[in-house]
Chain A
C-alpha cells in the first residue's frame, strides 16, 4: 500500500515539476515522462503482489471533510484494474516522450497526464465515496484538459465541451447512487454500504447509467467518438485503454455490494446482456463507416466495452440462477477482456498516432502503402488488428473463448431464463467478430497496404525508438497473453471470488475445465505457428531454385492504372454499411453529373452518431428553448441585480422575524 501511495505522490510531484519546467522542453519531458515511467514501474510491484497473493492491504485515516475518510484498499478486484493502468500508462509515457516533442505547452500536458494516471489509481483504490468522487472528478478534469490541448481548432473545443458535460451528467448519477447506498448506515465508507431489497433495482439502474456514461454504454457513449480522436495519441491510448475501464470497475464494485446479501434478480443479467449486445453491434457498425482512423478505433472501444458487459451480464446471470461455473467463466472473460483491450487498443491507438505523426493526417482515404515505409508500426498494428478481431493464437481470442464457453455452458442449461441470453450472446459475439474482422481489415488494408492514395505518404518515415519500443512491448504482450493464457487466467480468480461471493478455491475448481481448454487451444495455437513456419520454409525451399520476378499488379489491360483506382475504405465497407443503413443513417451530399458533357461532380458522405444526432441534439435544443423563456431575467442591469439581492434579504428577514 505504501508503494502505491508513493507511486501516486511521485506522479503528482513529477507533474508539478514538469509544469514548473515548462520553459525548458527537455527537462519538462524528463520530469513528466520519467516520473510517470518510474511511478508506474513502482506501482506494478504491489499490484502484482496483491493479485497473485490475494492479500488485502488497506489504510484508513480520518479526514476533516464531512463524511469523508482517507480510506484506501488494494484488494484483488482493484489489482486487476491497477495492472493495466500502470502498465499502459507507463508505456504511453515512453511513447509520449517522443511523440510530443516540439509541441507547445509541454509542461501543462505532462502535468495533466500524470494527474490523470494518479487519479485513476486513486479511483481504483478509494473505499470512501468522498475520496472516490474527488478522484473521479480529478480524472474527468485532467482528461478534459488533455483532450482540449489543441484548442485552436473548433472541433476540439466542441469535443471537449461534449466530454465535460457527459462526464458530469454521469457523475450526478454516481453521486445519487452513493448517497442512497450510504444512507442506511449513515457513513460513506464502502464497507458500510448496504442496500435494501426494494431499492436494489433503483441502485443498480443508477450505477448502470452513472458508470455506464464513463464506460461508454450505448446510448451514453456520444462523448467517446468526439473526445478520443481530439486528444493526443498517447492520451487517447490511456483514455481508451484504461480510463473507460474505471467505469466498469465502478459497476463491478457496486454489483459486489448489491449482491452481497441476496442473489441478483434475473432482469439485471438480461439488462447487462442487452446493453452488451447493443453496444457491441452499434460500436462496430459505426466503426465500419468511419474514415478518421482514431474515430474508428474509438467506436471499436465502444464495441469492446459491449463485449466486456456481455461477460458481466453472463456472470450476473450465473449468480441469479445459482450456476457457479457460469458466473466464474463470465466474470473471467470480462476481466481478461479488460486486460486484453487495454493491450491491443493501446497498441492500435499508439500505432495510429505514429501514422498521424509521420504523415500529418488521420484520414485513411489519403493513406496507403505505409507498410514498406513504416515496417515496425505496420507489423505491430497488424498484430493489434488481429488481436482485436479475436484471432488465435493472440489474446483477443482467449477472452472471447472464455465468453463463448460461458455462453455455451449457459446454453446447455435446461432453464430458458439463462439459455436465451446465452444464445443471444453467442450470436452477438459471432456477428461482432465478423464485423470487427471487416472493420480492421479495412483499417489496416487501407492505411498500410496497396498504393499511396495521396501525397501525404511521400514523406512518411518510421517513428523513433521510444515510440517503437512502446509498440513492440504491447504487441509482445498481446502474443504472450494469448500463448500463456492458462497461466494468466487463474490470476483473476480471487477477483472473481470477490464478485461472485464464492471462495477462491471453488472459483478455481469451476474454471478448471476452462483452463484445460485454454491450455489445449494454446498448444494448438503454438502448433499453428509452427506449421506456418514449416510451410514458409517449404515455400522458400521450393522457390529458391525457381525464377521469382516482379511485375505490375494485373490491371485487366488498362493503359494507365493509378493509385486512385484502388478500392477506397468507404467502398470496402459499402456492402455492410448499406446493409446496416437503417442504423447508420449516413447523410449523402451528391452533386450528380448532368447533361451530355458533364462538368465536375461531387459526392460526399458523413455518418454522424445516430444517438447524438437524433436523440441528444433535439433533446438539448428543446431544453434550451424551454429555458430560453427565462432569458428575460438576464438583462445586464446592475441596479436590478442588487435589488434582487436586497429584496431577497428583506423577504427572508420578514419571514424569519415576523
Chain B
C-alpha cells in the first residue's frame, strides 16, 4: 500500500516537473523525488527494517534530497541567470506528451518479459515513465541546469526499476551508483558555472557554435 502511494507521488512529481516554469520549483520537485525514493527503498523491503535498507534510504535522502538541490541552487544563485525554464516545447504540450508517455509505459510494461514478479504492479510502468520524463526534459528544455535536472530524474527512474525488480542488490552496487551520480552532478554543476562565466548564459542551444565545422 505504501509502495503504491509513493509510486503515485513519484509519477505526479514527474508530471509536475514537465509543467513547471520556475527553476527553483523544479529543483524542489527533484528534491521531493529524492525523498520519495528514500521512502520507497524502505517500503520495498517487506521483511522488516534492517540496518542496510535504512542506511541506504538515509543516504539517498541525504544526497538526492538535500545535497544535489543545494548544489544546484548555489549554481543558480551564483550565475544570476533568469529563473525561467525557457522550453522548446511549451508547457501544455509537455503535459499532454507526459500523459501519453504514462499510458505508453503501462502498455509496454505489460508486454515486457520480466525475470521475476515485481514488488508491485505499478513500479515498472511508473519507473519507466519517470525515465522517459527525464529524457524529455533533457531534450526539450533550453537551459543547461534543466538538463542536469532531467539527468537526475532519469537516474531516479532507473533506480526505481532497480529496487522494484531486484530484491537484494549488493550494497556496493548501490553506493557505487550513488557515487557516480554524485560526481556527475558536481562536474555538471562546475561546468555550468564555468559556461555561464565564459558565455554569460547557460543556454545549451547557443553552445552549438562550438561544433567542429561551420557551414
Contacts and interface: CB of A to CB of B under 8 A. Distances in A.
Contacts of B147: 638
B215 A639 contact: no
Interface string A632-658: 001111111011001000000100011
B205 A631 contact: no
Contacts of B140: 639
Interface size class of A (residues with CB under 8 A): 10 to 19
A639 B138 contact: yes
Contacts of A634: 211-213
Contact of A653 (B108, B136, B213): B108
Contacts of B212: 634
B139 A646 contact: yes
Contacts of A657: 108, 111-112
Contacts of A631: 213, 215
Contacts of B210: 636
B67 interface: no
B139 A639 contact: yes
A636 B208 contact: yes
Nearest to B211: A636
Nearest to A644: B139
B167 to A, nearest CB: 24
A574 B182 CA distance: 72
Interface size class of B (residues with CB under 8 A): 20 to 34
Nearest to B144: A638
A637 B205 contact: yes
A635 B208 contact: yes
B116 interface: no
A657 B208 CA distance: 36
A643 B140 CA distance: 9
B88 interface: yes
B204 A639 contact: yes
Interface in A277-327: none
Interface string B188-215: 0000000000000000110111111101
A637 B209 CA distance: 9
Given A634-B211, A634-B213, A639 B111 contact: no
B135 interface: yes
Contacts, number: 41
B213 A642 contact: no
A608 B136 CA distance: 55
B93 to A, nearest CB: 15
B211 A639 contact: no
Nearest to B210: A636
Contacts of A643: 139
A636 B207 contact: yes
Interface in B44-75: none
Main secondary structure of the interface of B (DSSP, over half): helix
Contact of A639 (B88, B112, B209): B88
B103 to A, nearest CB: 14
A646 B136 CA distance: 8
A631 B205 CA distance: 18
A284 B162 CA distance: 69
Nearest to B150: A642
Contact of A635 (B88, B111, B211): B211
Contact of B138 (A642, A653, A658): A642
Interface string B146-181: 010000000000000000000000000000000000
A658 B111 CA distance: 8
Contacts of B204: 638-639
Contacts of A637: 205, 208
A631 B138 CA distance: 24
Nearest to A647: B139
A639 B147 CA distance: 9
Contacts of A658: 111
Contacts of B108: 653, 657
B161 to A, nearest CB: 14
A653 B147 CA distance: 24
A625 to B, nearest CB: 14
A635 B206 CA distance: 11
Nearest to B138: A642
A657 B215 CA distance: 41
Contact of B207 (A638, A640, A642): A638
Nearest to A658: B111
Contacts of B112: 657
Contacts of B211: 634-636
Nearest to A640: B139
A402 to B, nearest CB: 54
B21 to A, nearest CB: 18
A642 B150 CA distance: 11
A631 B207 CA distance: 18
Contacts of A636: 207-211
A52 B63 CA distance: 72
A642 B207 CA distance: 15
A146 to B, nearest CB: 28
Interface string B110-150: 01100000000000000000001001101111100001000
A658 B110 CA distance: 11
Contacts of B215: 631
Interface string B79-102: 000000000100000000000000
Contacts of A642: 135, 138-139
Interface in A303-360: none
A166 B209 CA distance: 33
A653 B101 CA distance: 13
Contacts of B136: 646
A642 B140 CA distance: 10
B209 to A, nearest CB: 7
A658 B135 CA distance: 22
B9 to A, nearest CB: 25
B207 A646 contact: no
B113 to A, nearest CB: 9
A643 B139 CA distance: 6
Nearest to B208: A636
Given A631-B213, A642-B135, 8 more contacts: A635-B208, A636-B207, A638-B205, A639-B138, A639-B204, A642-B138, A657-B111, A657-B112
20 contacts: A634-B211, A634-B212, A636-B209, A636-B210, A636-B211, A637-B208, A638-B147, A638-B205, A639-B138, A639-B139, A639-B140, A639-B142, A639-B205, A642-B138, A642-B139, A646-B132, A646-B135, A653-B108, A657-B111, A658-B111
Interface of B: 88, 108, 111-112, 132, 135-136, 138-142, 147, 204-205, 207-213, 215
The list of the 9 closest CB pairs from A to B, nearest first, reads A636-B211, A636-B208, A643-B139, A657-B111, A646-B135, A642-B138, A639-B139, A638-B204, A642-B139
